[in-house]
Structure formats: structure tokens, C-alpha cells
Amino acid sequence: MSDLLSVFLHLLLLFKLVAPVTFHHHHYDDLVRTLYKVHNQCPHITRIYSIGRSVKGRHLYVLEFSDYPGTHELLEPEVKYVGNMHGDEVLGRELLLQMSEFLCEEFRNWNPRIMQLIHSTRIHILPSMNPDGYEMAAAQGLNTSGYLIGRNNANGVDLNRNFPDLNTYFYYNEKYGGPNHHLPLPDNWKNQVEPETRAVIRWMHSINFVLSANLHGGAVVANYPYDKSLRHRLRSSHGTTTTPTPDDKLFQKLAKVYSYAHGWMHQGWNCGDYFPDGITNGASWYSLSKGMQDFNYLHTNCFDITLELSCNKFPHQEELEREWLGNREALIQFLEQVHQGIKGMVLDDNNNNLTGAVISVSGINHDVTSGEHGDYFRLLLPGTYSVTATAPGFDPKTVTAIVGPAEPTLVNFHLQRSTTQVNPGRRTPNGRQGGKMKMQPQIPKKKDSAMRQPHRGPA
């Protein structure tokens, strides 16, 4: 009898291993259960946290993957995925839930590529920025002709037209002089945006994101900044014009990485539209004001693109497996793109970390800054660059950095205190206002033997 029981248990285990994954749509409660299921299966490399609530009080939950969940490790970049910004565009939501399960499962199976990704990257996944809109769209049903309701949030606001408009200020500064990065928000910005938008902006302030993508539907194309044209018009087939960022070639490369790793995006012909290589500059498609990807680039250190992933905004359940297989490799490859360019520490002459130091690359009119712990990340294409670090009260330092096609080049800066102090009200040469620079003792690497050891393999 015991032999028969043993055979039965082995057959049951085998069935579980080969049983196909069930693909289905997730209402809010299902989404939350899925996130906690992944966390319970991989508790040592995941963390669930909420960045705020929707209009109707639903949590905006994020699932984090890291070998040190909840901790920023020095020189380890932060990446985010945002799905379901428009409530009726649901594929991104399902793909991010599926990817969460995939990352956990592959880590537990000792997949070296996934283990390396999680050990070297802190990944944040927000499956739904607009849970209220999703519930409205899902309640309407899949068989309704025409557009679904639920695109907007519960207050009827399009969240991708709800971020502060910083493009106008940048276009002015580009022409007449002024800061080219970290443009300030209006004093009353909190009263101008929706709860979901406010939560995401605070999220951006709390974590020094380097790379990001937001997932949409209604087309199949990788869309990169700028979204807002220099000559802004409403969506039209006439009068559009390409409006590139100073990092246009880099953004094109990021978009192509996703497009060519995708099952069919790179072919160009999708949903009745044609986009060469499956990519487009946002403004050349149609001009969009107050969008999230432009805001990321102009207000933070983050490079963000928009991924339009399906012709049908609310695909039938039977289509979800094909869509997952078409997007799986692209989702992973895009995360891996954060490991390029240069990164390093900015320290003073006493080896204290400098927060907010400005990193400028000659020939590219867009700077980044060092984070709270003094580390910085600057995505760049392969090449040779002249890089300068500046901070109020310190002499600037310029070095030559050679960037290869693989891992990022480590470029550290030790700044010497200036004998002539910068006037706090005067602009520094890069357009950033002078002032006090935060200094703090250098933080030891998290992987030193004196520190808690990271989780190195499946539980």
C-alpha cells in the first residue's frame, strides 16, 4: 500500500510540474492575492508595499524583487514597471503579474540569468496604477462594442494627462538658458493632480529610479520621449513633429531592445499602423501634454518609455498566454538595460558621500544627480565621454570615461572643497542653483562580511 501511495504522490508532483499555467484576468482582490502568493513563495527576495490609495481607497501595491528587499544597495540600480495606468488597458496588468510569478519561480529553480538580475538590480512592479478604472472596465464586460469605460480614474481624469507640465519650462530653458534636469514642481502641484498621480510622484521622490517603462494598450509600439511636441497640438494625423530629447539615440536603443525582443512588435505593421522597427517618438505620433514619461525624464534621474502592447485594450482570456509568450523575453531584456553606461560614488575629501551632486556629460544637455547615499547612475551608449561632477562648495572634477557594450563603467569622483564658496543664490555653470550640499558618512557595502548576507538562492 505504501508503494502505491508513493507512486501516486510522484505522479501528482509530476502533474503539478507539467500542468499548464492558467491565464485569467485579475480583479483587485485577485491581484492582491497573487502578489501575496508570490511573496509567500519567495519571501527572502520580495517585499510588498503600498505607495498610496486610489480615489476609492484601493491600495496601489508594489511588489519589489531584490536580494535585500526594502534596502537600497550602493551602486545597485533601481528599475520600475507601471501597468494599467488607463483602467481599460489591462494587458500590462496581467503581464506584470505573470512576470512576478515567473521571476519568483525561475529564482527558485536556480535560473542563473534571473538570479543575476535579482542580485544586481532592485526591481519594483506596480501592476495597476488605476485599480478603480479597471473595475469599471471589467464590470462593463468584454463583449461591449466600442470603447470600454474605465480609461480614467474614478474622478474621470486621464492619469497620463495629469502630471505637472515641465516640457514648457524645459523648452524655454533650452532656448534661453536654465536647468536641464530635475525641473521644480509648481508650489501647488499637490492640488493639481489626482491621488494616484500624487502617490506615483512621491514614489519617484522616495527612490532614485534609473530606468522605467509604463505599459499601455491600443497599439503595438515602443514609444519614447518626448511625448509633447515643441508645437503642441491635439492628436491629429497632420502637424505632428518629432521632438527628441538630448538622449534621443539612447531612447531609440531602449525602445528597440523591447521591440526586437518582442514576438512581433519589431515587424512594424500592427493594429493598422506602421512604425519602422516597432518604435516611435511620442510627439511624432501625436503630441501629449502632462504625460508620465516626459515627467520622469525632466523631474527625476529616470529614463522612462511607454510600451503599447496590444491592439485590443481588454484582450480575451484565451489571448493572454500568447501575449505573455510574446512579451516575456522583452520584459526581462528591458530590465537588463539598466546595466549600461557609467555609475559610481561622489565623495568629498573626507570620503563622505555627497547627495545631489550633478553629473554632466559633455555634448548631452541632460544631467543626473547623485542619490541619497552618494551613488549615481548615468545610462549611456558605448563610446568615450567627458564627464564632470559638480557640487556647491566644491571644485568641479572632469574625467574621461570609456563605456563598453556590456557592464557599466565604474567612475568615482572625489571632490575637493573649494577655497571660494558658491553664493547660495547664484547659478552654477550647469544651471543648477548653488546651496548646501548634504554630506553623510560613507556607507559600507551591504555585502561586507559584517553585514547581513543577501539571499543567494532559493529557499
Of 79, 80, 82, 87, the closest CA to residue 55 belongs to 87
386 shares a domain with 272? no
280 shares a domain with 361? no
Please state the separation of Cα 257 from the chain's center in Å: 15
Spatial contact of 386 and 323, defined as CB atoms under 8 Å apart: no
Per the domain annotation, does 457 fall within a domain?
Answer: no
159 shares a domain with 36? yes
Per the domain annotation, does 11 fall within a domain?
Answer: no
Per the domain annotation, does 346 fall within a domain?
Answer: yes
Task: Give the CATH number of the domain where residue 371 resides.
Answer: 2.60.40.1120
Q: How many other β-carbons are positioned within 10 Å of the β-carbon of residue 161?
A: 14
Compute the distance between CA of residue 271 and CA of residue 15 in angstroms, rounded to an integer.
38
355 shares a domain with 208? no
Structural domain containing residue 69: 28-232+239-337
199 or 422, greater pLDDT: 199
Per the domain annotation, does 426 fall within a domain?
Answer: no
In this prediction, residue 174 has a pLDDT band, given cuts at 50, 70 and 90, of confident
Helices 131-140 & 28-41 angle (0-180, nearest 10): 120
* Residue where one domain finishes, among candidates 282, 302, 337: 337
Beta bridge partners of 65: 46, 123
139 or 177, greater pLDDT: 139
Spatial contact of 408 and 343, defined as CB atoms under 8 Å apart: yes
**How high does pLDDT run on average in the chain?**
88
Q: Is a pLDDT exceeding 50 seen at residue 51?
A: yes
What is the structure's pLDDT at 236? 45
pTM of the model: 0.88
Q: Say which DSSP state 128 is in.
A: -
* Residue where one domain finishes, among candidates 306, 337, 368: 337
In this prediction, residue 457 has a pLDDT band, given cuts at 50, 70 and 90, of low
129 shares a domain with 272? yes
Task: Give the CATH number of the domain where residue 42 resides.
Answer: 3.40.630.10
Compute the distance between CA of residue 227 and CA of residue 429 in angstroms, rounded to an integer.
28
268 shares a domain with 178? yes
58 shares a domain with 151? yes
262 shares a domain with 404? no
What is the structure's pLDDT at 226? 96
Per the structure, the count of domains in the chain is: 2
303 shares a domain with 192? yes
Per the domain annotation, does 332 fall within a domain?
Answer: yes
Least confident range from 41-55, 65-79, 445-459: namely 445-459
Of 399, 414, 394, 435, the closest CA to residue 350 belongs to 414
373 shares a domain with 297? no
What is the structure's pLDDT at 420? 72
Per the domain annotation, does 432 fall within a domain?
Answer: no
What is the structure's pLDDT at 436? 40
Spatial contact of 370 and 355, defined as CB atoms under 8 Å apart: yes
269 shares a domain with 252? yes
Q: Is a pLDDT exceeding 70 seen at residue 150?
A: yes
* Residue where one domain finishes, among candidates 337, 360, 387: 337
388 shares a domain with 291? no
Give residue for cell 484601493: 58
Catalytic residue positions, numbered = 308
Per the domain annotation, does 22 fall within a domain?
Answer: no
Per the domain annotation, does 75 fall within a domain?
Answer: yes
How many CA within 13 A on the CB side of residue 269? 0
Question: In this prediction, what percent of the chain has a pLDDT beyond 70?
Answer: 83
Beta bridge partners of 384: 402
Q: Is a pLDDT exceeding 80 seen at residue 434?
A: no
In this prediction, residue 1 has a pLDDT band, given cuts at 50, 70 and 90, of very low
- Strand 78-83, strand 209-216: pairing: parallel
